[in-house]
Chain A
Amino acid sequence: MYRRRAQPAPTRLLAILCAVVLAVMLAGQQSWSAGVRGVAMGLMAPIQEGVETVAGQVGRVASVLGDISALRAENARLQQSNATLRSQLVQLSAAAEENAALRQALSFEQSTGHKAVAAAVIGRGPDPYSPTLEIDRGTADGVLVGMAVVTGAGLLGTIAQAWPHEAIIQTLSDPSSRVAIYLLGSDLEGTLRGGQGGLAVQLTLRAGTDAATGDWALTSGLGGALPRGLVVGQVAAVGVSSPGAATQPATVAWVNDPSQVAFVLVITDFRPS
């Protein structure tokens, strides 16, 4: 099956390809390269959407098949009718999922007063070192770099890059994410640092006020990067601050799990300063 070869490794080809990659990296620093990248992303988007659709269908079919096998034990007639109903349910649940996302966008606009664009997640970061999400909306839909992205649960991240019909979200899983927050109730403020698992926050202490586990963390709007009042998470643990210290460490359990997100809302009427 495998045979040993005596030739040396193709060093010349490696050198040529490395040179090509370095040239592409240098070209990528130029402003015109964004257009080329946008075209490439546009070509990849239908393939990604196709794979996502196929995976969703396979998952639904697998779940339907599992249910059918459980019902087979009851009787053949019920099984047949159940299979028909299940297949209708699959179609309905797919429509319901989409409806829920659109309703979410509508209720979000009504409850917060912000205008939002609903978008489907069509790709995720290629490896754990790049916790990003790719969505099917871009500058043509009013999505711009820096805009806040939320789900029904709360803040998901911000737009890192945008092309006419796609955009990439930098989620709060990214260690370089920073969000100014305040705690509902105690009004303590702090800066939250992104990361995998719990989100670390340094709260600015005030005399007579303490943070407590279970307090809700919301965006404070300080710095002008994000609108005020978006839910980020709940305080999961409060650390002990050293005597005389001005800050207190705490951990916030994020309300979102990027691996489970299928639809998002991009807040389009708030321009980050």
Chain B
Amino acid sequence: MIRARARTIGVASAWSILGLAWLVGTVAAQTDLGARLEVMGVSPNLVLILVMVAAWTQGGASALVFGCVGGALLDLSAAGPIGPRALALLSVAYVGVWASRNLRRPGPLLVAAAAAPATVLYAVITLAVDAALRQPTAGLAAAAELTVAASLFNAALTLPSAALWGWWRSHPWGRRPDPAEPSQRLGTITRRVQA
């Protein structure tokens, strides 16, 4: 009983650390490499893409935590208060989770399609909170132009990301191990080899 509980905690901790490392890596990539991928003055929002994919494949809690922590880390790297991007990505995660649970046939294409309105939602909340906090914001016309380009860019990048993540989750190595059955993964691989 105690051993099983310890194993459960161990697996959960390992996955949490892995998730956090993945998130920090994505934030660093967005703030460092984003400009290298710039098209029409817009760089991809990799954290938003991660949150959308997490909302569809990992479940509500993971997506919300990814959105909150990822947004706070993005706010850290911007000149301004911590909060606008965290709130924006929390909302994006919530809408993503709601959509994944209510749409009939969720799949990579729908995740990509949902990334476009999610980007608009992100922009609206970020700019609204910035304005409420009297932070300098882009003009309405410039912001609208940037948001349209960003929506298309994020949607285009979400499609391969979601497909890749879906493939990885279906792979034996990408599945979260069940703590109750430590040999499950080995069993799966063995069965595949036998087949």
A binds B: yes
Pick the residue among A21, A59, A127, A196 that contacts B45 (CB under 8 A): A127
Residues of chain B within 8 A (CB-CB) of A59 are 36
Q: In this assembly, does B183 line the interface, its C-beta being within 8 Å of a C-beta of chain A?
A: no
Give chain B's interface residues, CB within 8 Å of chain A. 24-25, 27-36, 38, 41-43, 45, 47, 56-57, 59-61, 64-65, 67-68, 71-83, 85-87, 90, 94, 97-98, 100-101, 104, 106-107, 122-123, 126-127, 130, 133, 136-139, 142-143, 146, 150, 166, 169-170
Please determine whether B86 and A21 come into contact, CB atoms closer than 8 angstroms. yes
Please determine whether A126 and B77 come into contact, CB atoms closer than 8 angstroms. yes
Please determine whether A128 and B146 come into contact, CB atoms closer than 8 angstroms. yes
Give chain A's interface residues, CB within 8 Å of chain B. 1-2, 4-11, 13-14, 17-18, 20-22, 24-25, 28-29, 37, 40-41, 44, 47-48, 50-52, 55, 59, 122-130, 132, 134, 160-161, 168, 170, 174-176, 195-197, 258-259
| CB-CB nearest in chain B for A131 | B138
Give 29 A-B contacts (CB < 8 Å), ordered by A residue.
A1-B166, A1-B169, A2-B100, A2-B166, A5-B59, A7-B101, A10-B64, A10-B97, A13-B64, A18-B90, A21-B90, A22-B87, A24-B72, A24-B82, A24-B83, A28-B81, A28-B83, A41-B76, A47-B24, A48-B28, A52-B32, A124-B43, A126-B30, A126-B75, A128-B43, A170-B79, A175-B142, A196-B138, A259-B35
**Distance, CA A35 to CA B79, complexed state (A):** 15
Residues of chain A within 8 A (CB-CB) of B76 are 37, 40-41, 44
Residues of chain A within 8 A (CB-CB) of B34 are 124, 126
Residues of chain A within 8 A (CB-CB) of B65 are 17
Please determine whether B138 and A175 come into contact, CB atoms closer than 8 angstroms. yes
Residues of chain B within 8 A (CB-CB) of A55 are 32-33, 36
* A4-B138 CB under 8 A given contacts A28-B81, A126-B77: no
Query: Apart from A127-B74, A132-B78, what 13 extra A-B contacts exist at CB < 8 Å?
Result: A1-B107, A2-B57, A5-B59, A21-B72, A25-B82, A40-B76, A44-B27, A47-B24, A51-B28, A125-B78, A126-B34, A127-B122, A129-B143
Pick the residue among B33, B101, B137 that contacts A129 (CB under 8 A): B137
